[in-house]
């Protein structure tokens, strides 16, 4: 089940960065509800937060004669992040002055509370701020350290709110989201490849890239630096630890992957790479004439196999096999042929598995011949199972 976060936003110019915090939390699989102070709502609109979080935003304790239930909101949360926390909000939090929905929710929350202050240099250094911070820490709240740099006033120094990606990392660490891939570089190929016939037509398959994107997010959230080589897809991925290299053809994917393979600890070949491409690409649009028309095809490079040949003993590689018949036999054959450590088999015969679904049903085949079968799960859950298996190999 996803972890539930309440994000409290108070009235600082840094509130615009909280939109990014919301996006990063959602992309990392958290459920997010936002509570804003009236001052924050003057900097950034509640509509932006509700659009990104896909939840209503709380701004008023009493909204048109209706009392907003801060108790339910506080108890709902697995974690409460207050970012940005202004000097005023820090003072109110420290002293329990519940004159807005954010502070009332804070007083009702029983979960860990993380506070990311944002203010000007002199406000940050002021003894009252120092006093409020130490009071809040003494209550068990966790302070996310401020950054040093240019401030909205034009001054330079301490007081900037921590960057959204750093706040996400801090939350992941503190909430014990497994951080078992810290220090590892993971290379992932994903999506289809597209092989041009002429400037207008191409050969392509049904892959959407979703499985690879879920794997990239899972690895990123577990602390890895991820290089995602992504074929043409409509899906988007934005994660602070994932670098995306977009590619079109199998040849592009091959070149991008080979250039990064040497520096990767783990490689996951999830892409549905075209096995064949037109031998020649017509420079101009091919006109129709005869009743039949043939395109001569040639093999594309096998990226997984090439990497399997270059692989050192410190590198781990995972392949995928999508089969329509004799799946297990084919998967075992590919596992050895491509020198993989494990291969993930999914069959198009299983309902809900394969292309165009948010779900997948997999079996993981090991080199010793052992097989782990899994029920139908979301691709996000499948990604977790694959990475858990990968971790268990070491």
Binding site for ligand C5P (CB under 6 A): 189, 250, 269-271, 273, 275, 300, 302-304, 319-321, 334, 338
User: Could you say which of 20, 55, 205, 339 is catalytic?
Assistant: 205
Q: Is 125 helix (H, G, I), strand (E, B) or coil?
A: helix
* DSSP annotation string for 177-232: ---TTTT-EEEEEESB--EESSSS-EE--S--SHHHHHHHHHHHHTT-EEEEEE-S
d(CA 236, CA 350): 26
Which tokens sit at 182?
A: 């810290």
- Phi then psi for residue 82, to 5 deg, are -110, 105
User: Smallest gap, in angstroms, from Cβ of residue 34 to ligand C5P?
Assistant: 39
Minimum CB–partner distance for residue 235 and ligand C5P (Å): 17
| Cα–Cα distance measured from residue 377 to residue 380, given in angstroms and rounded to the nearest whole number | 8
Among residues 24 and 304, whose Cβ is nearest to ligand C5P? 304
Between 178 and 350, whose beta carbon lies closer to ligand C5P? 350
- Closest separation in Å from C-beta 308 to ligand C5P: 9
205 catalytic, yes or no?
A: yes
Which is closer to ligand C5P, CB of 219 or CB of 250?
250
CB of 93 or CB of 304, closer to ligand C5P: 304
* Tokens of residue 287, six digits: 């006109």
Nearest distance from C-beta of residue 189 to ligand C5P, angstroms: 6
CB 385 to ligand C5P: min, Å: 17
Structure tokens at 199: 């400037």
Phi, psi dihedrals of residue 52, rounded to the nearest 5°: -70, -40
Using DSSP, state whether 203 is helix, strand or coil.
Answer: strand
Residue closer to ligand C5P by CB (options 31, 214) is: 214
Tokens of 35: 């509570």
Length of the chain: 394
Q: What is the 3-state secondary structure (H, E, C) of 368-390?
A: CCCEEECCCEEHHHHHHHHHHHH
Residue 36 is given by DSSP the state: E
Taking a C-beta distance cutoff of 8 angstroms, is the pair 14, 32 a contact? no
> Least distance from C-beta 321 to ligand C5P, angstroms?
5
Instruction: Give the nearer residue to ligand C5P in terms of CB position, either 29 or 301.
Output: 301
CA distance 302 to 307: 9
Q: Is 49 or 261 the residue whose CB approaches ligand C5P more closely? A: 261
Look up residue 241 and give its DSSP letter. Answer: T
- Judge contact between 224 and 241, C-beta under 8 A: yes
Shortest separation between residue 271's beta carbon and ligand C5P, angstroms: 5
| Contact call for residues 319 and 344 (beta carbons, < 8 A) | yes
Catalytic residue list: 205
């Amino acid at each position: 089940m996803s972890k539930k976060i309440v994000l409290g936003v108070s009235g600082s110019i840094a509130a615009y960065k909280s939109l990014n915090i919301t996006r990063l939390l959602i992309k990392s699989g958290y459920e997010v509800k936002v509570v804003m102070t009236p001052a924050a709502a003057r900097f950034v609109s509640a509509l932006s937060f509700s659009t990104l979080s896909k939840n209503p935003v709380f701004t008023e304790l009493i909204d048109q004669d209706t009392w907003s239930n801060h108790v339910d909101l506080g108890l709902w949360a697995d974690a409460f992040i207050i970012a940005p926390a202004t000097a005023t909000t820090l003072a109110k939090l420290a002293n329990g002055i519940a004159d807005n929905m954010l502070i009332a929710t804070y007083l009702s929350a029983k979960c860990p509370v993380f506070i990311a202050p944002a203010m000007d240099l002199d406000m940050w250094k002021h003894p009252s701020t120092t006093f409020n911070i130490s009071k809040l820490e003494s209550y068990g709240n966790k302070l996310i350290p401020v950054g040093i740099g240019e401030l909205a006033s034009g001054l330079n120094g301490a007081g900037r709110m921590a960057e959204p990606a750093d706040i996400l990392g801090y939350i992941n660490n503190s909430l014990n989201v497994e951080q078992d891939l810290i220090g590892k570089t993971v290379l992932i190929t994903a999506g289809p490849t597209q092989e041009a016939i002429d400037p207008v037509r191409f050969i392509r398959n049904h892959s959407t890239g979703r499985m690879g994107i879920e794997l990239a997010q899972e690895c990123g959230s577990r602390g890895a630096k991820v290089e995602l080589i992504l074929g043409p897809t409509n899906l988007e991925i934005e994660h602070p630890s994932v670098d995306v290299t977009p590619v079109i053809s199998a040849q592009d994917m091959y070149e991008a992957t080979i250039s990064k393979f040497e520096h990767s600890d783990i490689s996951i070949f999830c892409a549905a790479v075209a096995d064949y491409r037109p031998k020649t690409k017509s420079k101009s649009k091919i006109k129709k004439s005869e009743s039949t028309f043939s395109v001569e095809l040639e093999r594309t490079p096998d990226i997984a196999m090439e990497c399997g040949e270059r692989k050192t003993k410190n590198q781990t590689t995972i392949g995928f096999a999508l089969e329509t018949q004799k799946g297990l036999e084919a998967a075992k054959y590919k596992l050895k042929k491509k020198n993989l450590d494990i291969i993930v088999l999914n069959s198009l015969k299983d309902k809900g598995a394969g292309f165009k679904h948010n779900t997948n049903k997999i079996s993981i085949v090991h080199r010793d011949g052992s097989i782990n079968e899994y029920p139908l799960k979301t691709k996000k859950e499948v990604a977790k199972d694959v990475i858990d298996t990968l971790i268990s190999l070491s």
